Amino acid sequence: MATMAKRKKRRGGTATLAPPSEPQVRPGIVGLGRQVPPGITRPPYIPGGEPGPARSDMVRTADEIARMRKAGAAAAEVLLLAGEAVAPGVTTDKIDEVVHEAGLARNAYPSPLGYRGFPKSVCTSVNEVICHGIPDSRPLAEGDIVNIDVTLYLDGVHGDTNCTFFVGEVDAASAALVKETRVAMYAGIGSVRNGSTLNQIGKAIEQHANRHQLGVVREFIGHGIGTEFHGVIQVPHYYERRANLQLETGMSFTVEPMLTLGAPQMYIWDDDWTAVTVDGRRTAQFEHTLVVTEQGHELMTVTPGGECAADRHA
Ligand code: MF3
Ligand code: CO
Ligand code: CO
């Protein structure tokens, strides 16, 4: 997701809090970035890593939408495969391998690899990690929850989708968090149609979160997407009066709420990527890429059969 605003890094932000009741995720060893064969087309920010300011039109052409269906379907398929690989003892680096190879097999470039220096092909965010976790040597443990965020670049456009998976059996609070985060995402998406106001997405998400006493992370937001990984549209997952863009048929963006069991405040690890909750409690996320239509929306990140990880694992 796009970052809402640059904030000063918090260090030692947990010092005044009671110790979390469960062991916290610790950084593991990050292996080398994986190789991409020369035949696979790179996105424009490779090799430098800097995408530059977002500047593409908010509305996609019919041809771009047709290509986004394919990129989105590929991302949805790869996310389903990644979810099938989730099990106790499997490292997040193994998930990276699965996503990388499945992406290449579909002739796609894994968009995170080299994006602003991100070292791996997918984001894997475990338990209290909100987003942008870097796959590493840590094995998934029974009872963990893990968000896998897949973005693929295919035929000149990106498809971006994520799902939070259970590792074996999880406690009731974690199960409820994941379930309601998925419902919140679909509640936000449900407000989308030609002529609706963008801030109704965040309003619906925030209302659902409030009803279940869950926090809404504010620092990371949904984003325009298409030829650019992160386009100009900004989608807060809370009600923001000023986000009053009137949606038009053909606009494309992501909806990707991050909800928390405790307080939604975050800080970022020294790796400059991994965002975690300050209070160490768990957090979940779901994401789809969609396009605005006359009557509603079309989800780009579903398989040709209309399947997606969020619905299979619901
Ligand atoms: N896929 C994330 C999003 O939803 C962005 C990840 S950027 C990365 O926007 F560099 F961390 F991969
Ligand atoms: Co996104
Ligand atoms: Co994503």
Establish if 43 belongs to a structural domain: no
Cβ–Cβ under 8 Å, residues 162 and 285:
yes
Confidence of residue 306 (pLDDT cuts 50, 70, 90): very high
Q: Is 188 helix (H, G, I), strand (E, B) or coil?
A: helix
Q: Is 251 helix (H, G, I), strand (E, B) or coil?
A: strand
Nearest to 310 by CA among 283, 289, 293: 289
Which residues crowd ion ligand 2, with CB under 5 Å? 1, 160, 254
Mutation test residue for ligand 1: of 111, 232, 269, 288, the one with most atoms within 8 Å of CB: 111
- Ligand 1 contact via 287 beta carbon (within 6 Å): yes
For residues 277 and 219, give the distance between their C-alpha atoms in angstroms, rounded to a whole number: 12
> In Å, how far are 245, 248, 303 from 27, measured between CA atoms?
39, 43, 33
Nearest CA residue ID for atom 11, ligand 1: 132
Say which CATH number the domain at 76 has: 3.90.230.10
- Beta-strand relationship, 109-110 and 234-235: unpaired
The conformation of residue 314, written as its DSSP 8-state character, comes to -
Q: What is the 3-state secondary structure (H, E, C) of 92-110?
A: HHHHHHHHHHHHHHCCCEE
Average pLDDT over residues 67-77: 99
Spacing, Cα 130 to ligand 3 middle (Å):
12
Confidence of residue 20 (pLDDT cuts 50, 70, 90): confident
Establish if 19 belongs to a structural domain: no
Query: Is 147 a residue whose pLDDT tops 50?
Result: yes
Establish if 36 belongs to a structural domain: no
Establish if 24 belongs to a structural domain: no
Query: Which domain covers residue 119, as residue numbers?
Result: 59-312
Nearest CA residue ID for atom 3, ligand 1: 1
pLDDT, residue 313, reads 75
Q: What pTM does this model have?
A: 0.96
For residues 200 and 31, give the distance between their C-alpha atoms in angstroms, rounded to a whole number: 41
Partnered with residue 259 across adjacent β-strands are 216, 284
Report the interhelical angle of 172-190 vs 199-211 (nearest 10°): 150
Spacing, Cα 8 to ligand 2 middle (Å):
22
- Ligand 1 contact via 256 beta carbon (within 6 Å): yes
Give the number of the ligand closest to the Cα of residue 129. Answer: 1
Establish if 244 belongs to a structural domain: yes
- Structural tokens at position 183: 């419902």
- Ligand 1 contact via 123 beta carbon (within 6 Å): yes
Confidence of residue 18 (pLDDT cuts 50, 70, 90): confident
Query: Could you identify the atom of ligand 1 that is nearest to the CA of residue 111?
Result: 12
Cβ–Cβ under 8 Å, residues 164 and 145:
yes
Strand order of the β-sheet with 283-285 is 215-216, 258-260, 283-285
Cβ–Cβ under 8 Å, residues 191 and 180:
no
Domain count, the chain: 1
Nearest to 288 by CA among 57, 72, 51, 96: 72
- Ligand 1 contact via 109 beta carbon (within 6 Å): no
Establish if 111 belongs to a structural domain: yes
- Ligand 1 contact via 112 beta carbon (within 6 Å): yes
Q: Mean pLDDT of all residues in the chain? A: 95
Count of CB atoms situated within 10 Å of the CB of 172: 7
Establish if 256 belongs to a structural domain: yes
Partnered with residue 288 across adjacent β-strands are 255
Percentage of the chain with pLDDT > 90? 92
For residues 296 and 249, give the distance between their C-alpha atoms in angstroms, rounded to a whole number: 9
pLDDT, residue 15, reads 55
Establish if 267 belongs to a structural domain: yes
For residues 274 and 255, give the distance between their C-alpha atoms in angstroms, rounded to a whole number: 20
